[in-house]
Chains A and B, each alone.
Chain A
């Protein structure tokens, strides 16, 4: 390789690397520095160094622990529902595509629209649908003879309402990935299985699920990380309430830092979130790329 080429490759690669270091690594180091202080941006006096007190405090903070529990719960519940529904719906679209039905492609595009809409707007729409007095959800329930539900007002139900909206918006994503996975299976396999007398459930268990495993894992990985940092939907519907029943990790940190201005405490929380996120990402990436060679 000529000397010229050796220089040129850095011209290509370095801007991105430097940029990412400046805007992600450097702020994180700065965040570490703040997290061991009492910094509060609403107070005029200078912050004091307090060691790991913020972290100790956090692990004793019942709201933070609730936020962690809620985040875990809503992630698991949402993802299970999204995957099961997504796979079933993908099979219907797959059948449609195999039978070469007219308009299946168009239906699929329309079907996936919710996931293209920002969770902020989607959440606001549901705020209207779930409104206790003028919402259409309770009206439809009343037609079926059910009593009205306090969707966002009850500490027992609010988190499930969030999960419902979340699943409604993101099932199309899992469905698209499952569909893409199903389409890569050679049609002969289904043919052979049919000739051998395999039923539809055997086809799912022994052909479809194993062969789309990788796609499913990547989909799960993306959605787990999305849910782990869920903010918009909660911010716009419940704001973490009632009480702290829908508090998530991101919401907690936001409130501490930008409503109570406890930036030191918030930074400590964000570091815990980051560490949890890194561990989670490592586990997920390993499980997806595990035995295969990465890249």
Chain B
């Protein structure tokens, strides 16, 4: 029994050390966000801010360097993309899972392989095409691109969930006179709600974090939060305090979602790998 206790204690120590090490950069930036300028530049470093301040946060929401419009853009773009991608993907996945579509295996394989496509390969032509049709630097344009990039994963994930539904339930509904759309709306969709949650989380996560497309396809008007954060670098004197505060504001929703919905996140990451 005693041996078991030692083993348990050792394991706890190891796990806590690993976890602490893993998130130590995040803890460091969190502490930095509340420091005054003098403490940020102090060597040896000040670990815990002695004079905690909210000035860094205030500076990113007000004044000439305000990031509020970009945060607003990111929220609109992320939510719209998530919603629209879910609708299109759910329909497609349902179609593939429930009907006999000619060459559906090939089409599904093609859809999945578009997920492998390096974004840099499409961003150049998209930039030129968007310039011609006036979609450059618009939220609409970026939403369109983001939907395209999230559809493959969303369709794949939803079709896994739809295929797991027992046929009998749907057959019974059809016998009772249920139409295709009301079957989807009232019977199938509620049953694949966990899949919808996975898709929603991952689409939001991708969109909220994305940099390359936004960097190239947006400018002054539709600039997203990540692009505005990336602008902290490339200047001689990086404003570390506001940089830290912006980082915290950007990752806060992600961390909250991770804690609240971790079950779905782990399912999304591992489902495709385990079941198929």
Q: A interface vs B, CB < 8 Å?
A: 1, 5, 8-13, 15-17, 19-20, 23-24, 27-28, 30-31, 34, 41, 89, 92-93, 95-96, 99, 101, 104, 107, 109-114, 116-122, 124-129, 133-134, 136, 139, 168, 171-173, 176-177, 180-181, 184, 214-215, 218-219, 225, 228-229, 231-232, 235-237, 239, 249-250, 253-254, 257-258, 263, 266-267, 270-271, 273-274, 277-278, 281, 285, 294-295
Q: Are B29 and A134 in contact (CB under 8 A)?
A: no
Residues of B within 8 A of A110 (CB): 19, 22-23
Interface 0/1 of B237-276, CB less than 8 Å to A = 0101001100100110011001100100110011011101
Residues of A within 8 A of B45 (CB): 134, 136, 139
Q: Are A172 and B266 in contact (CB under 8 A)?
A: no
Q: Are B118 and A274 in contact (CB under 8 A)?
A: yes
Q: Are B23 and A249 in contact (CB under 8 A)?
A: no
Q: Are B120 and A250 in contact (CB under 8 A)?
A: yes
Nearest A-chain residue to B212, judged by Cβ? A231
Residues of B within 8 A of A93 (CB): 15
Take A176-B269, A215-B273 as given contacts and tell me if A13 and B96 are in contact as well, using a CB distance cutoff of 8 Å: yes
Residues of B within 8 A of A285 (CB): 113
In the complex, B144 has a CB within 8 A of chain A: yes
Q: Are A13 and B101 in contact (CB under 8 A)?
A: yes
Nearest A-chain residue to B92, judged by Cβ? A16
The smallest beta-carbon distance between B29 and chain A, in angstroms, is: 5
Residues of A within 8 A of B29 (CB): 125, 128
The smallest beta-carbon distance between B108 and chain A, in angstroms, is: 7
Tell me, in angstroms, the Cα distance from A27 to B141 when the chains sit together.
14
22 contacts between A and B (CB under 8 A): A9-B100, A15-B91, A20-B152, A24-B122, A99-B11, A101-B11, A104-B15, A109-B258, A112-B258, A116-B255, A125-B26, A128-B32, A134-B40, A139-B43, A139-B44, A172-B22, A214-B273, A218-B272, A236-B233, A267-B124, A270-B124, A295-B105
In the complex, B187 has a CB within 8 A of chain A: no
Is chain B's interface secondary structure helix, strand, loop, or mixed overall?
helix
In the complex, B177 has a CB within 8 A of chain A: no
Tell me, in angstroms, the Cα distance from A281 to B259 when the chains sit together.
33
Q: Are A116 and B254 in contact (CB under 8 A)?
A: yes
Q: Are A31 and B125 in contact (CB under 8 A)?
A: yes
Tell me, in angstroms, the Cα distance from A172 to B244 when the chains sit together.
23
Q: Are B118 and A277 in contact (CB under 8 A)?
A: yes
Nearest A-chain residue to B108, judged by Cβ? A295
Interface 0/1 of B149-176, CB less than 8 Å to A = 0011001000000000000000000000
Tell me, in angstroms, the Cα distance from A101 to B10 when the chains sit together.
12
Q: Are B111 and A20 in contact (CB under 8 A)?
A: yes
Take A116-B254, A177-B273 as given contacts and tell me if A274 and B88 are in contact as well, using a CB distance cutoff of 8 Å: no
Q: Are B247 and A125 in contact (CB under 8 A)?
A: yes
Residues of A within 8 A of B232 (CB): 124
Tell me, in angstroms, the Cα distance from A34 to B205 when the chains sit together.
33
Tell me, in angstroms, the Cα distance from A274 to B95 when the chains sit together.
29
Tell me, in angstroms, the Cα distance from A109 to B208 when the chains sit together.
20
Residues of B within 8 A of A257 (CB): 124, 127
* Contact of B274 (CB < 8 Å), options: A181, A236, A254: A181
The smallest beta-carbon distance between B6 and chain A, in angstroms, is: 12
Tell me, in angstroms, the Cα distance from A218 to B156 when the chains sit together.
15
In the complex, B14 has a CB within 8 A of chain A: yes
Chain B residues 110-166 with CB under 8 Å of chain A are 111, 113-114, 116-129, 144-145, 147-148, 151-152, 155
Q: Are A19 and B121 in contact (CB under 8 A)?
A: no
The smallest beta-carbon distance between B15 and chain A, in angstroms, is: 5
Nearest B-chain residue to A35, judged by Cβ? B124
Q: Are A109 and B259 in contact (CB under 8 A)?
A: yes
Tell me, in angstroms, the Cα distance from A119 to B118 when the chains sit together.
16
In the complex, B186 has a CB within 8 A of chain A: no
Q: Are A12 and B247 in contact (CB under 8 A)?
A: no
Nearest A-chain residue to B152, judged by Cβ? A20
Tell me, in angstroms, the Cα distance from A285 to B120 when the chains sit together.
21
Interface 0/1 of B167-205, CB less than 8 Å to A = 000000000000010000000000000000000000001
